[in-house]
Structure formats: structure tokens, C-alpha cells
Copies of this chain bind each other. A is one copy, B any other.
């Protein structure tokens, strides 16, 4: 039988002292999937990149799909935790009812921090963005069904905008999420071509301010 259950590997967030092969596979897979898409990366590609045996994926994770889902699950939890923490801190600072701008910052900032060049979660973010459109049925079911984390943000926004019908708030959350998901490599490339290079995507603080400015104005409209 295979030890797929323990799930002790943790891509680069702890020194690979234990289950080194599992971590090598995890990290190689995440990077290749993020760069080339899920269907364009074979188990052979992954194990070659990781420098391990072909059978390692099935031995340590059960199947290619299970490996994909494991990466997805771990990064999703991690990102949600970052966001929830920021929202919580903003709530603490404002007696439980943070203003729109701070809610949006909590929604955007973790993503943009991960996106920054050199950040160790940069490929994780591209992986997660890819999962929305290319993911397995299981991933997309999770994305569609599990909105509990998102609901904290919509609830906070409804409280912060009492004059706005909730229906309107939901739509605007939808728009704001679209703004985030646009930050794929391909779309940032396209923006670079369109603007002839004057948009600097590595200015993450500037980008955060730009996104919050745009979205805040949209919410207050």
C-alpha cells in the first residue's frame, strides 16, 4: 500500500529533512503545473524535473490527480488563512466593522504579496489561478461549493455598505474577484505589450493601491 495519508510533506515551508522525495515531487509538480498548465505536464515531466523515480508520484500521492488536489488544497487553505487573518485584524482595528477600503485590502493583499517577484509562493498563486479554469472536477466542486471563506468578506462589505442592496454587493464582489484573477502571467504579458512596457508589474505596493482605489470607487458608486 502507499503512504498517501500522512501528508506530511510541505513544499519548501520546512527544510526537507523528512520524506525528501515527496517534497521534491510536490515542488516540481507545483512549478511545472503553474508554468505549463495541468494537462500539458506529464508524470514523467514531474519526476524528471524532481530527479526521482517515475513511480514516486503514485507511491507517495496515489495518483496524478490526487497530487494535483493535494497541492490545490494546501495552497487554498494557506491563502484563505492569510486573507482571514488580515480581515480579522482590520475588524479589530475598527470595532468589528472595518471600512470598505480595508476589507478590499484584506482580499487583495495576500494575493499580490504572493505574486511579487522572488516570492516563494509566486508559482503557487499561478497554480491556484489555473485551478479555477483547468482544475479537475473535484477542485472545481470545491471552488464552487465552498464559499464560506468568501462569505466573511461579503458579509463585512454588506455591513460596511448598509445603503447598498446585498444583491449589488455580491455582484461587486464578483467583479473584484475578476480583477484579481486577471493577474495571470499571460494577462500581465498582454498588458505589458499593450502599454508598451510602461506598466511595472513588479511594483506590488503600487499595484495594490491601484486595485484598491479602483475597486473601492466601484463599491462606493
Interface residues, chain A, CB within 8 Å of chain B? 37, 39, 130, 132-134, 140, 143-145, 147, 150-151, 154, 166-168, 170-175, 177-184, 186-187, 189-191, 193-195, 198-199, 207, 210-211, 213-221
Contact = CB atoms under 8 A, between A and B. Distances in A.
A144 B182 contact: no
5 contacts: A37-B134, A147-B190, A147-B194, A154-B194, A218-B218
B144 A193 contact: yes
Contacts of A214: 171-172, 175, 218-219, 221
A152 to B, nearest CB: 11
Nearest to A178: B182
The oligomer's copy count stands at 2
Contacts of A210: 168, 171-172, 175
Contacts of A194: 147, 150-151, 154, 170, 173
Contacts of A173: 191, 194
A218 to B, nearest CB: 4
* A interface SS class: helix
A132 B186 contact: yes
Nearest to A220: B217
A187 B193 contact: no
Contacts of A219: 214
Tell which of A140, A150, A199 has the most Cβ of chain B within 10 Å. Answer: A199
A174 B181 CA distance: 11
A133 B186 contact: yes
A139 to B, nearest CB: 10
B179 A145 contact: no
A219 B179 CA distance: 14
Given A218-B214, A221-B216, A182 B190 contact: no
Given A144-B186, A144-B190, A170-B198, A217 B211 contact: no
A199 B167 contact: yes
A69 B215 CA distance: 35
